[in-house]
Amino acid sequence: MSKNLAEKYIEIVKERNPGEPEFQQAVEEVIRSLEPVLEKHPEFEKAGLIERLIEPERAVQFRVAWVDDSGQVQVNRGYRYQFNSALGPYKGGVRFDPSVNPSVMKFLAFEQIFKNALTGLPIGGGKGGADFNPMGKSDGEVMRFCQAFMNELYRHIGPYTDSPAGDLGVGPREIGYMFGQYKKLVNRFDEAITGKQIVYGGLNGRAEATGFGIVYFANCMLEANGEKLAGKRVVISGFGNVAWGTALKLEELGAKLVAFSGPDGYILDEAGITGEKIDYFLELRNSGKNICQPYADKFPGSVFVPGKKPWEVEADLYIPCAMQNDIRLEDAKNIVASGAKFVCEGANMPTTNEALDYLMQNGVIVGPCKAANAGGVACSCIEMGQNAGHTVFSPEQVHAQLKTIMVNIHDSAAKAAQEYGLGYNLVAGANIAGFMKVAQAMMAQGVV
């Protein structure tokens, strides 16, 4: 019985990864939706496919020692989890945040396998990071940290091995310092790192790609349900790179963004968050303070609601763009109570499994992150191709490709769910569609 089989794998994950709740949560969510697939494909059990899939192919943990501005030595912990290379070299971001630990790294790397598979591009899944907080650090400190981090990471990466990029706490500045050190150490200018600035090989449109892709995906969800994005009232969380790109595209497509959040609370701006207000996200982010209060001071008419999450604000569409487990059961109840029909996940695993079940049981259509936010990594892969081909792609070329990729991801997730008789269930469909690609490649490559 496949139900027992899925439970068996979930038990294995819990037993083998004690004290790693984020990783257990990510695996459980995927494995449960694979039940009908495992039933249809008994060969996967025989091949130990799931047992292999839930075990990282390789993991490195390393000391990152650096000197702060006062001359004091600081020690952080660096990681790279190379989870699955069935479809291509490991690919995935690097996160610098105090919350980084093996569980967070493993959940992100595991999710990345399926996300990358869904793009249809030749990339495996990996993730890295450090428990370093760039907030409040000087430029010199960030540079010395990035160089120290790369002094170890460089030996594990490369365009045909593993290609890191940005994530939370890692933007163009950090990528620049890491790339500079990588190049110095390997004496090669290659495509091992993506998310670079345009002037030295970065991709036109990579910065906004994740957010644009999320809105393209949300648009597909609405259209598949006979609705239009234009005129819809939208609430997002976060104000980082993903939130910024999302806000830009929402404005362009005529949706009305009324709230965003930071760790200190949320901003409600009934006049709509557009134009210079969206530009201000970049200033907030670069302020190194990571708070949204200054927005309320700058734009009269907006309201700062301290210590609260924006999920209590009524909307038609919610797009969490901050961190994992941002929408919990009580937030899901608020969302359902507001009569919203759509949640499109921008951040990685922003919804707890409990909240996800509640939303879906109450008729909310959820666009899962591994599908909806895949535009960022897809453009990273396009950046690798641009660098390998010693060429430059125009913003128009990139955006056209991104849009096609997002529509394809939506359609393949919807189709996979249909095939298994699950209706319009993008959460299960994305898991199934991504998994099938990885599974076929793993079956073809033997027990390795």
Give the footprint of ligand GLU on this chain (CB under 6 A). 91-93, 115, 165, 167, 194, 348, 376-377, 380
Closest separation between CB of residue 85 and ligand GLU, Å?
14
Minimum CB distance to ligand GLU smaller for 115 or for 256: 115
Size of the chain, expressed as the number of residues it contains: 448
- Distance from C-alpha of 262 to C-alpha of 99, rounded to nearest angstrom: 16
Record the tokens describing residue 192, joined without a space: 């091992």
Minimum CB distance to ligand GLU smaller for 123 or for 439: 123
Q: In what order do the strands lie in the sheet with 162-165?
A: 58-67, 73-84, 124-130, 90-96, 162-165
Closest separation between CB of residue 376 and ligand GLU, Å?
4
Minimum CB distance to ligand GLU smaller for 167 or for 251: 167
Closest separation between CB of residue 379 and ligand GLU, Å?
7
Minimum CB distance to ligand GLU smaller for 80 or for 115: 115
Of 370, 313, 314, the residue nearest 127 (C-alpha): 370
Closest separation between CB of residue 245 and ligand GLU, Å?
12
Which residues in 166-187 are b (16+ Cβ under 10 Å) and which e?
Answer: bbbbbbbbbbbbbbbbbbeeee
Minimum CB distance to ligand GLU smaller for 193 or for 305: 193
Minimum CB distance to ligand GLU smaller for 147 or for 348: 348
Closest separation between CB of residue 345 and ligand GLU, Å?
11
Record the tokens describing residue 392, joined without a space: 């430059």
Contact criterion met (CB below 8 Å) for 140 and 69:
yes
- Distance from C-alpha of 336 to C-alpha of 399, rounded to nearest angstrom: 33
Could you give the angle at the alpha carbon of 142 between the alpha carbons of 140 and 148, nearest 5°?
100
Closest separation between CB of residue 260 and ligand GLU, Å?
19
Closest separation between CB of residue 325 and ligand GLU, Å?
16
Minimum CB distance to ligand GLU smaller for 102 or for 213: 213
- Which residue has the CB atom at the shortest distance from ligand GLU? 93
Q: Which letter does DSSP use for residue 66 in this model?
A: E
Contact criterion met (CB below 8 Å) for 268 and 308:
no
- The residue whose two tokens read 């608020």 is 334
How would you classify the pairing of strands 265-268 and 303-306?
antiparallel
**Environment class of 276 (CB within 10 Å of its CB; exposed 0-12, middle 13-18, buried 19+):** exposed
Q: What is the DSSP string of 247-258?
A: HHHHHHTT-EEE
Q: Please compute Rg for the chain using Cα positions.
A: 21
- Residue ranges with strand state E in 360-424: 365-367
Contact criterion met (CB below 8 Å) for 241 and 165:
no
- Distance from C-alpha of 112 to C-alpha of 60, rounded to nearest angstrom: 17
Closest separation between CB of residue 277 and ligand GLU, Å?
25
Classify the phi-psi angles of 294: left when phi > 0, otherwise alpha if psi is within -120 to 50, otherwise beta: alpha
Minimum CB distance to ligand GLU smaller for 31 or for 384: 384
Query: Which positions are annotated as active-site residues?
Result: 127
